[in-house]
Structure 1
Amino acid sequence: MTVTAPFSQGRQAPGLPRLPTPPSGWPIGSYGTYEEAQRAVDYLADNDFRVQDVTIVGVDLMLVERVIGRLSWGKVLGTGALSGAWFGLFVGLLLGMFSSAQGMSYAPVLVGLAAGVLFGVVFAAMSYASTRGRRDFSSASQLVAGRYDVLCQPRSAEQGRDLLAKLAMGTNG
């Protein structure tokens, strides 16, 4: 049995390992942000460099949780009702389209919408109540690296390092 990434339709890009493996290659550049590392690889590509030999590696990984706002019962119940309404509307539309009645019936849509709102509010309330006030905020998490190294296979590393040196000095290749 072969395990593939979602949406890959069973094909794998050539040169990619089948199992998680540490990156290989020689460092040809190190950058403080992913955007800078991406710009470096783009510069290599613009200068007809074999970018298939290049890997961007995030080093010193951190999970950063940015607090978005304070939670209240009103926000929790409103968000639960809204997400439940969307799901209920979807289910109701499906039931309405495939019902045996002549034409589109709106009763299943309304029942699905009402049931979705009810269940959304109930599940959101149960989830929020189970925290007992220990997490009264909403947040977004992001995996960030302390630096981004650009690695290259040894056969092309010297050429890549020279090109990135030109980029750092601000000259065109």
Structure 2
Amino acid sequence: MTSPFSAQNRPGLPPRLPTPPTGWPIGSYGTYEEAQRAVDFLAVEDFPVQDVTIVGVDLMLVERVTGKLTWGRVLATGAASGAWFGLFVGLLLTLFSNTEGVALGPVLVGLVTGVFFGLVFAAVGYGSARGKRDFQSASQLVAGRYDVLCQPSSAERGRDLLAKLAMRPTPS
């Protein structure tokens, strides 16, 4: 009996559960863009790209600081977030109300209530941090290098094609 999660039941599709990659390395690149360019080249050369996998190696989490947090920025963000949620709730209330036509009452009540609670929750959250994280940031998962793997049956041809690609000048 086979499992519904096994790759044998889904030919040509990636496995449903996390599994280590298989195949032989046919190229290694410093950026994802270069690895993607290599696979694009293989596709143009009629290589069976369904046998290819791009693997990020030496993963690192990069957090780039985008700005300083201030009370004004925190409260404005909280108010905007609360306004969206309140507007959504107000529109839902109007959909299920018994009044005819457009009823602005529930929308306005939802909007004002959302802004109020957004301000309160943002202020409480920022105030309780007591200056421990006074900045905004964006996180990104980045690899130190990107290996292109291929199934053994096509690996030699893949290496030969990528060697031809490496001899070409890189586009700017």
TM-score by structure 2 length? Answer: 0.90
Q: Is the 8 A contact 2:52 2:149 kept in 1?
A: yes
TM-score by structure 1 length? Answer: 0.89
1:115–1:13 distance in 2 versus 1, CA, 3 Å: farther
In structure 2, what is the equivalent of residue 78 of structure 1? Answer: 76
Aligned letter for 2:103? S
Paired residues for 1:1-173 under 5 Å: 14-170=12-168
Q: Which structure 1 segments of 5+ residues have no match?
A: 4-10
TM-superposed CA distance for 1:131, in Å, is 1.1
Q: Is the 8 A contact 1:97 1:105 kept in 2?
A: no
The C-alpha deviation readout for 1:54-91, integer Å capped at 9, x for no partner, is 00000000000000000001100000000110111111
The C-alpha deviation readout for 1:18-75, integer Å capped at 9, x for no partner, is 3211101000000000011001101101111100100000000000000000000110
Moved over 6 A (4+): none
SS at match of 1:135: coil
Length, aligned pairs only: 164
TM-superposed CA distance for 1:15, in Å, is 3.8
Q: Is the 8 A contact 1:32 1:147 kept in 2?
A: yes
Distance in 2 separating the partners of 1:93 and 1:112 = 8
In structure 2, what is the equivalent of residue 8 of structure 1? Answer: none
Q: Is the 8 A contact 1:97 1:104 kept in 2?
A: no
Percent identity between the two aligned chains: 74
Q: Is the 8 A contact 1:91 1:109 kept in 2?
A: yes
TM-superposed CA distance for 1:97, in Å, is 2.2
- Report the RMSD for the aligned CA atoms in angstroms: 1.9
SS at match of 2:140: strand
Distance in 2 separating the partners of 1:167 and 1:147 = 18
Aligned letter for 1:120? G
